[in-house]
Structure 1
Amino acid sequence: MTPVTVRFFAAAREAFGTRQATVKAANLDDLIAVLSTDASAEAVTVLSRSSFLVNAVARTDRGEAFAEGDTVDVLPPFAGG
């Protein structure tokens, strides 16, 4: 497990009650599982709808391993008008 910095934006920040956390996880699937543990139903829903950036690059392969020092941005869908 690699420690990664997780930054929460918009509804994710609100659901998790913080802007940033450090989490030990092997990959995105693992990170989502760790974040979901003991999280509110709202936070789990936000995670299920979110996109993820790793070091500012969209990550679609949730099984790709993290490297030490990675930063993961949790980006829920944004509404606009």
Structure 2
Amino acid sequence: MTAEDAKRDGADTETAAEKAVGGMRLVEDLVARVPGFADAYECHVMNEPRVLPHLFFWDVVQDTVASYLGEDMFEAPTGGTA
């Protein structure tokens, strides 16, 4: 590994760390502005070792779509044949 490779690898690590902090800040800002996402955030931080923005946003998308469709995420599915 050359000195240039090491420098580049260090820069990549720093960039990844900066992105992680930025993603966490984005999630926290969103929850602060939209109190309805607080439950999803609390559930996320209890189930994950740290804030994972991509997973949190997936949960938010699922909850938002279910709400728009009038579905209760915790209700047992209905329908089917008896």
Q: TM-score, with normalisation over the residues of structure 2?
A: 0.27
Higher helix share: 2
Structure having the larger proportion of residues in strand? 1
